[in-house]
Amino acid sequence: MNARDDELIQAAREVRQRSYSPYSGFAVGAALRGKSGKIYTGTNVENASYPLTICAERAAVCKALSEGEQEFEALAVVSRTGATPCGACRQVLAEFGTDIRVLIADAHACLGAHTVAELLPHGFDRSKLA
């Protein structure tokens, strides 16, 4: 852990407060640092039709892409339990780099750090399309 990691986790904690999670009550915040150094945040947005829910991690990725950033260094994910990203989020992150560091935290501490490759071994990528 370093000051940049702390900053990323704090940004995820702050955006988590804006989660729209009336069905599960499981608020998640994510903060994604681009190679430019800029931080993009996202929170989970639930829907009464559950499959339409968007995860915090994918919300942060979409925000970064919509602002022109496509290369990423690290992602912090904060939830009540310190949950890791779901499979869909892992796959989306892998599209942009298996070396992205993923910091997992709860409201009080960082619980661990992994690379996308560690979270998604043998993931599907463009090489599988040939």
Q: Which positions are catalytic? A: 57
Tell which residue, 46, 42, 18, has the closest CA to residue 92. Answer: 42
* Chain centre to alpha carbon of residue 41: 9
Fill in the DSSP letter of residue 126: G
User: In this structure, are residues 116 and 99 in contact, taking their beta carbons and an 8 Å threshold?
Assistant: yes
DSSP state letters, 44-99:
-B--SSGGG-B-HHHHHHHHHHHTT---EEEEEEEESS-PPPPHHHHHHHHTT-TT
